[in-house]
Amino acid sequence: MTTAHDARPLPPSDGAPPPDRVGVRRRSLIGWVLAGGTLAVAADLSVGAEPAAAAVPSPPQVPELYDLGDLQTHSALPTSQLIRIDLDEDGVAHFAIPRMEVGQGITTAAAMLIAEELDLPLDKVRVTLAKARPELVFNQLTGGSNTMQSMFTPIRVAAATAKGALLRAAATELGAQVSALVAKAGVVTGPTGTSLTYGQLATLAASAEDVAVEVSLTPRSEFSVIGTSRNREDALAAVTGRKQFTMDLEVEGALPTMVCRPPTLNGSPRSVRNEAAVRGMPGVTDVALVGTGVAVRAATFGQCIDAVRALDVDWKGGSVEGESDESVLAELKRAELPMVVPKVPILASTLDLRVEFMFRSSAALEPNCAIADVRSDRATVWAGLKAPIVAQRDIAKAVGLPVGKVEVNVVTGGGSFGHKLFGDAATEAAVISKAMGKPVKLMWHRADEPRQGRVHPMATSRVRATMLAGQVLTFEQRHTSVVTDFGHGLGERLTALVAELPANLGGLGLSQSIFTLTQELPYNFGVVTQLLNEVDTRFNTGSMRNIYSPDVACANELAVDQIAKRLGKDPYAFRMSFLKSAKAKRCLEAVAKAGGWGRSLPQGVTQGIAVHTEYKGATAVLVELDTRPETVNRKIRDAVTGPRVTKAVIAVDAGLVVNPRGLEAQMMGGVADGIALALTSSNHLEDGHFLEASWDNYFYTRQWNVPPEFRCIVMPSDEELPGGAGEAGVAASVAAVACAYARATGKVPTRFPVNHGTVSFTPKSFVPPVPESPVDGLSYVS
Amino acid sequence: MPQHTFTVNGERVTVDVADDVRLLWVLRDVLKITGPKYGCGINVCKACTSHVNGKAFNPCSVPVSDLGPDDEVTTIEGLPDTVDAELHPMQEAWLERDVAQCGYCQPGQIMAAVALVKKVRAEGRSITDADLDGIRNICRCGTYTRIREAIREGASRM
């Protein structure tokens, strides 16, 4: 390790070229001590990333060698910029992470990395969310379970740089050699026992100029924080109600605002017939016609709801007038790509499977919301945004301001699941604020979410496999989907990197490229082809806790069970003998053992097992599904009960694990999502609109659907880097439940969720678009 | 504008607001008590669950005029004071199990849990799986398993 004396000063200012590393040992890690009053350090976001492979042979499939995570990590390289850590005089380290916390635990994990490298107690690290930083270009997108993959090394380099600077300052102050000092828990102690706190050193370690230094990181064998289970840094705020979400922020003059939305998907208003009357309603201050509907601003959200219900609007038709589930399914069927029909011996037997996946709402519990204050010369916006740079650009365009005049503040989100990749609410709030000439606090009604909000596209998956003599010769998959919107920046990353992508992505469109970067069949099934076709751009779509994998894995694993059955093999034993990846095998073995695969169960209770590989890791899930009549027909008011998963065991290999407790939490959520996707949650499209308008219409997993027995096994890993976590738990979960259902009923379901055929509720009105606020709350006191 | 007087978190308040404004908006928009969250506005998601006179209720579905001067409303912010402590035992259990993910539903979950424990106690019994199955509060992050564990843990400390 060199000291600041031998390092060459570099100007890490905005727009600076990547650092010239001449004279610095290859593969060394470079951090910066920045000019400032107290210690400020930085690291380049690209630090530690391996260079992209020039070409990828085939087979194996693309994601095994170069996946979506690599794409996101490498997209930082040409546009690399700095992340910085500031140490204040109280010895507290501050880091504004250019990512969004939505419950997945990245702020806690980032704090752990800093605590590790800086030898600082965890409660002395504050991680906040960075505002939109356009200079980061592609590098401020939270998605694809990529945060820990891409930030792991840069954060550690910055923290190690800070520690080095503190040690050098302490050495000067204590008259000792750096090597004779010990840094522990925010205190540097010298050979004579004299000590200085980081707070005392913060000013002494400050630099007058930007200086590049070489650092080395704590080896894995010496980790004392990374890899230990820690509670979330915001847990106390969450349980006391002090955690602030967008709607909890007080912005001067930003009154509650809602939008009366059209009765059909993506309709728009022509005119309002009773504007004066609505303006005169209690609390109402403004009414404005915007592209998405009619906005009302009032003293309280309750009065906004009343005004939305009172508005009499002349509506233009929507984007899918007259369309229904069946008509869109027919469109998908027409778009399905043909199988290649490989040459196989005449005696080979063929398995064909076709599965349909309905539209699903990706809405979080916190509905779309944003605060906007748009003035003639500038705009300020607050919202939960996973792609704030794209939102900033969109807002600027929508309100006619230069990007530099739009400040976008990223607020911790009440869940995302892909929903907050898009700045829909932020842009809408800005447009409304401009139209009214006043600050607004915009909230979508719950009913607006499934009806007008982002959905996971409807899709079909066809699988054809051929088998001979106990072997699988070919496995073909044709996935066909309503177009997935990647307008949140991922598409731009891919387009910008097109020349550097693996060779066999050449010529593919955007969606196909993302499909190819994420999908891999984990089995040795001979000739494997997986292709995607997407049609129809009329829906508001997006990723939903993973992009294609839950549907693709569900279809594949159902097919694998059927192949095993044809070959007379046990589903577990068959998978173990055909899986390619050692990680996947270990995960599968772990759940089979822990979950008691093949154990004797009462008639009507069935096991299902499934595996998934992605993010360079693997997950396996074993479930037990109770389909006995007394369970299926259990009655809970306004609830969908049905078959119940009574036990779920998930094993995950996510590479190096920063916070096992946080990873377990993500797997728990992934299983809850998988259960809902397989059994209960979907949107019904009928006559140009979605019927769902309530959590008692859209059946996400509720307590009565939760497995009473849940276990997560975090697999040990020798990997040097973390893999993906946030989305990793979903695909194998939905597949395992689907497989259990197929075994229980003796029939492979062809449509998911399995209860989609039953509309279990009376649809709420479309005009008015939101239900009345109830008045009988006190009769439910319990 | 009509005036409404009641007690919130041990403090007597009088608000000037129309009779039919639901209590959730009086708490959030007028009194700036933001622990109770909006998740549906129709008494389904339970994110706003608070207590009225010690029992669980959903202020999104109660017109402010339904409350009288003797009514005591407790939101998550006032929960610790009901046991004269920094944190209620249920909140402690929540921390111990690291239940929260995004945290949006958790104030409502905790308030529902405390009321449920009190209710089954009043019935002279302890929490069953069926009691836990009957909790309607949505957690879109899917923290349900930890919620169940924390409720049992919290109940043992209450």
Range of the domain at A292: 246-319+368-443
Same-domain check for residues A334 and A218: no
Tell me: do A250 and A204 sit in the same domain.
no
Closest residue to B43, CB basis, from A283, A443, A774: A774
Q: Which of B45, B98, B119 sits opposite A365 (nearest CB)?
A: B45
- List CB contacts of A45: < 8 A, sequence separation 6 or more: A76, A80, A81, A82, A83, A98, A136, A139, A150, A151, A154
Contact A445 B143 (CB under 8 A): no
Q: Do A302 and B136 touch (CB under 8 A)?
A: no
Which of A443, A463, A488 lies at the terminal end of a domain, its last residue?
A443
Same domain, residue pair A257 and A198: no
Contact, B57 vs A777, CB < 8 A?
A: yes
Q: Do B44 and A694 touch (CB under 8 A)?
A: yes
What residues contact residue A98 under an 8 Å CB cut-off, 6+ apart?
A45, A83, A130, A133, A136, A139, A140
- Phi-psi category of residue A472: left, alpha or beta, with phi > 0 → left and psi -120 to 50 → alpha: beta
Tally of domains in chain A: 3
CB contact under 8 A, B24 and A302: yes
CB-nearest to B145 from A413, A702, A710 is: A710
* d(C-alpha A501, C-alpha A494), whole Å: 8
Chain B residues with beta carbon closer than 8 angstroms to that of A305:
41
Helix (H, G, I), strand (E, B) or coil at A722: strand
State whether B104 and A636 contact (CB < 8 Å): no
Q: Give a yes or no: residue A432 inside a domain.
A: yes
Of A419, A443, A467, the position where a domain reaches its end is A443
Task: Find all residues with CB under 8 Å of A714, minimum gap 6, and list them.
Answer: A651, A652, A654, A657, A660, A663, A664
Q: How many CB atoms lie within 10 A of CB B57?
A: 24
Would you state the structure tokens that stand for residue A363, as one six-digit string?
A: 């809405």
Pick from A301, A346, A424: which is nearest to A770 by CA?
A301
Give contacts of A412 with chain B, Cβ < 8 Å.
102
Residue tagged 């209690």 (tokens):
A282
Asked if the structure places residue A449 within a domain, the reply is no
In a domain, A575, yes or no: yes
A206 and A252 in a single domain? The answer is no
> Can you give A337-395 as a three-state secondary structure string?
CCCCCCCCCCCCEEEEEEEEECCEECCCCCCCEEEEEECCCCEEEEECCCCHHHHHHHH
Q: Is A195 exposed, middle or buried (0-12, 13-18, 19+ CB in 10 A)?
A: middle
- Cβ contacts of B23 on chain A, cutoff 8 Å: 777
Coil/strand/helix, residue B93: helix
Q: Provide the pLDDT for residue A155.
A: 95
Cα-only R_g, chain A: 27
Q: Cβ separation of B102 and A445 shorter than 8 Å?
A: no
Nearest by CB to B57, from A300, A671, A780: name it.
A780
Is B8 in the A-facing interface, judged by CB distances under 8 Å? no
**Shared-domain flag, residues A202 and A308:** no
Question: Is B85's Cβ below 8 Å from some Cβ in A?
Answer: no
- Output DSSP code: residue B118: H
Q: How confident is the model at residue A57, as a pLDDT? A: 30
Cβ of A232 within 8 Å of Cβ of B43? The answer is: no
Tell me the residues of chain A between 324 and 363 that have a Cβ less than 8 Å away from chain B.
363
Helix (H, G, I), strand (E, B) or coil at A286: strand
Encode pLDDT of A71-112 as tens digits: 666 555 444 468 899 999 999 999 999 999 999 999 999 999
CB-closest option in B95, B133, B142 to A701: B142
Q: From the candidates A360, A694, A700, A706, which should be mutated to test the interface with B, based on the most B CB atoms within 10 A?
A: A706
Q: Are A459 and A357 in contact (CB under 8 A)?
A: yes
Residue A647 forms part of a structural domain: yes
In this complex, the residue of A306, A417, A781 whose CB is nearest that of residue B55 is A781
Q: How many residues does chain B have?
A: 158
A86 in the same domain as A40: yes
Q: Would an 8 Å CB–CB cutoff place B111 in contact with chain A?
A: no
Question: Checking phi first, is residue A48 left (phi over 0); if not, alpha (psi -120 to 50) or beta?
Answer: left
User: What CATH number has the domain bearing residue A652?
Assistant: 3.30.365.10
Mark yes or no for CB contact A245/B38 under 8 Å. Answer: no
Provide the 8-state DSSP code for B27: I
Whole-angstrom Cα Rg for chain B: 15
Please report how the helices B89-96 and B144-157 are oriented relative to each other, as an axis angle in degrees rounded to 10: 140
Indicate whether A155 and A94 sit together in one domain: yes
Q: Is B106 on the interface with A (CB under 8 A)?
A: yes
Interface with chain B: mutation pick from A104, A123, A230, A239, highest number of B CBs within 10 Å: A239
Q: For residue B7, count CB atoms less than 10 angstroms from its CB and return exposed for 0-12, middle for 13-18, buried for 19 or more.
A: middle
Domain co-membership, A586 together with A681: yes
Question: Do B100 and A235 make contact, defined as CB atoms within 8 angstroms?
Answer: yes
- Tally A–B CB contacts below 8 A: 239
In chain A, residues 370-399 whose CB comes closer than 8 Å to chain B: none
When CB atoms are compared, the residue of A232, A244, A673 closest to B100 is A232
Alpha-carbon distance A399 to A9, whole Å?
42
Is residue A12 assigned to a domain? no
- pLDDT for the residue numbered A19: 40
The residue of B140, B143, B151, B153 whose CB has the most chain A CBs within 10 angstroms, and thus the best one to mutate to test that interface, is B140
* Chain A neighbors of B28, CB-CB under 8 A: 247, 301
Cβ of residue A537 closer than 8 Å to a chain B Cβ: no
Domains contained in chain B, CATH given: 3-76 (3.10.20.30), 81-157 (1.10.150.120)
Low-confidence ranges of chain A (pLDDT < 50): 1-26, 51-59, 77-80
Contact A239 B110 (CB under 8 A): yes
**Amino acid residing at A58:** S
Of A242, A417, A665, the CB nearest to B98: A665
The residues near A188 (Cβ < 8 Å, ≥ 6 apart) are A166, A167, A170, A174, A181, A182, A195, A196, A197, A198, A201
Q: Is any Cβ of chain B less than 8 angstroms from the Cβ of A173?
A: no
Least CB-CB distance to A777: which of B36, B43, B105? B43
Cβ of A781 within 8 Å of Cβ of B52? The answer is yes
Closest partner CB to A300 (pick from B30, B37, B142): B30
- Chain A neighbors of B99, CB-CB under 8 A: 239
Sign of CA dihedral A755, A632, A698, A412: negative
Query: Is B22–A780 a contact, with Cβ atoms under 8 angstroms apart?
Result: no
Residue A291 and residue A233 in one domain: no
For residue A294, list its beta bridge partners.
Answer: A260, A289
Low-confidence ranges of chain B (pLDDT < 70): none
> Which residues of A fall within a CB distance of 8 Å from B32?
250
Give Cβ neighbours of residue A473 (< 8 Å, ≥ 6 apart): A342, A344, A345, A348, A466, A467, A525, A526, A527
Test mutation, B50, B94, B98, chain A, max A CBs within 10 A = B98
Write down the pLDDT at residue A30: 85
Question: Is A287 found in the same domain as A223?
Answer: no
The answer, for A765 touching chain B at a CB cutoff of 8 Å, is: no
Beta strand segments in A194-312, E: 195-197, 211-215, 255-260, 268-272, 284-290, 293-298
Residues of chain B with C-beta less than 8 angstroms from the C-beta of A363: 140
Q: Is the CB of B58 inside 8 Å of chain A's CB atoms?
A: yes
Q: How far is A637 from chain B (nearest CA, A)?
A: 9
Q: Name the token pair of A701.
A: 């997993």
Residues A127 and A210 in one domain: yes
Non-local CB neighbours of B11 within 8 Å, separated by 6+ positions? none
A115 and A260 together in one domain? no
Strands of A459-468's sheet in order across: A527-535, A471-482, A459-468, A349-357, A751-752
- For residue B102, list chain A residues with Cβ-Cβ distance below 8 A: 102-103, 364-366, 412-416
- A585 to chain B, any CB pair closer than 8 A? The answer is no
Cα–Cα distance measured from residue A733 to residue A667, given in angstroms and rounded to the nearest whole number: 9
Render A646-707 in DSSP notation, one character per residue: EEEEEEEE-BS-S-HHHHHHHHHHHHHHHHHHHHT----EETTEE---STTTS----GGGS-
Question: Does the beta-carbon distance from A300 to B26 stay under 8 Å?
Answer: yes
Question: Domain ends where: A240, A269, A301?
Answer: A240
> What tokens appear for B102 in the block?
């995004």
Interface check for A453 against chain B (CB to CB < 8 A): the answer is no
Inter-residue contact A651 to A620 (CB < 8 Å): yes
Task: Supply A587's token pair.
Answer: 């995960």
Secondary structure (3-state) at A619: strand
A23 falls within a domain? no
B20 in A contact zone (CB under 8 Å): yes
| pLDDT tens digits for range A715-730 | 999 999 998 888 999 9
Smallest Cβ–Cβ distance between A702 and the set B17, B129, B138 belongs to B138
Scan residues 635-664 of A and list those with Cβ closer than 8 Å to B. 636, 638, 661
Written in H, E and C, the secondary structure of A341-353 is CCCCCCCCEEEEE
What six digits make up the tokens of A506? 């050449």
A258: Cα within 13 Å, side-chain hemisphere: 27
Q: Hey, is A592 helix, strand or coil? A: helix
In a domain, A770, yes or no: no
pLDDT at A691: 98
The verdict on a CB contact (< 8 Å) between B107 and A239 is yes
Angle at the Cα of A367 from the Cα atoms of A426 and B137, rounded to 5 degrees: 160
ipTM over cut 0.85: yes
Query: Does residue A513 lie in a domain region?
Result: yes
